[in-house]
Amino acid sequence: MGTLVRMVYLVAVTFGMAGGAQSDSGRSPGSQASAASAGGTLRVPSIRYDEYFRKYSKRYFGPGFAWRVFKAQAMAESGLDSTARSSAGARGVMQLMPATFALISAHRTEFKSPEDAQSNIAAGIAHDADMWHLFGRITLHPEHYRFMMAAYNAGEGTIQRAQQVARAAHLDETSWFGVASVAQQVPRWRYHETLGYVSRIAIDYRRLKMLDAVPPVEMDLDQP
């Protein structure tokens, strides 16, 4: 239990995203990458897809939303690799299962395929928006982010079951700390993966924010 408590504490401390801010059908994330080098300094990630993260963050969440949240998510999912494919079949930058992509793109003819980086990012952020609205009664932004990302990773049904367990334990079901505290009691939840996923996105997002002060374009941002 000590390891879980420490992990929950890390999540609670690191996910400071205030300000502007998969489905259960077998989605398996390709959580492969970290933006940090061994020494803890930021290894600057590619800016190749930043245009898409900005564009679809604005489309599905509105202007002023923290678009780097989704870039941090993509770093956790695939390391920003458009060719990434998990053993379960999840594909692309946002590691979407083909069935999930087909469902999201059914009424969006501009989405080409999960192998197309722009379409994959767009579909991933659209799915995030669905999770955001699903947990819309969670009014605190930092908490709202956590539930959105957790549902993307573990499936909305899993996180809703976790809320039910938290409620039965007389804990706040709208608090990520409360839900994570009962994670071991939630059936069919690979909670270590989800808690680590949420924490990793939080850490990478905080590091990415430091790049806002870095002059763009002129320097080679793919280098450490």
Could you tell me which residue, 212 or 8, shows the higher pLDDT? Answer: 212
Alpha carbon distances (Å) from 218 to 47, 68, 214, 215, 221: 12, 20, 10, 7, 9
Q: How far apart are CA 133 and CA 83, in angstroms?
A: 29
Q: What is the pLDDT of residue 44?
A: 74
Mean residue pLDDT of the chain comes to 82
Give the model confidence (pLDDT) of 35-89 as tens digits: 333 344 556 788 999 999 999 999 999 998 889 999 999 999 999 999 999 999 9
From 37-46, 114-123, 131-140, the region with the lowest mean pLDDT:
37-46
Q: What is the pLDDT of residue 45?
A: 82
Give the model confidence (pLDDT) of 153-179 as tens digits: 999 999 999 999 999 999 999 999 999
Token look-up 């938290």 returns 166
- DSSP annotation string for 167-180: HHTT--TT-HHHHH
Task: Tell me the two tokens of residue 140.
Answer: 């605190």
Give the model confidence (pLDDT) of 93-114 as tens digits: 999 999 999 999 998 888 999 9
CATH topology of domain 2-17+29-206: Lysozyme (1.10.530)
Q: How far apart are CA 30 and CA 216, in angstroms?
A: 28
Q: What angle do CA 192, 73, 55 make, to 5 degrees?
A: 160
Domain extents in the chain: 2-17+29-206
Q: How far apart are CA 124 and CA 150, in angstroms?
A: 14
From 96-100, 111-115, 125-129, 209-213, the region with the lowest mean pLDDT:
209-213
**Beta partners for residue 85, in sequence order:** 91
Q: What is the pLDDT of residue 83?
A: 96
Quote the percentage of the chain above a pLDDT of 70: 75
CB atoms within 10 A of CB 10: 17
Q: How far apart are CA 108 and CA 104, in angstroms?
A: 8
Reported as a pLDDT band with limits 50, 70 and 90, residue 186 is very high
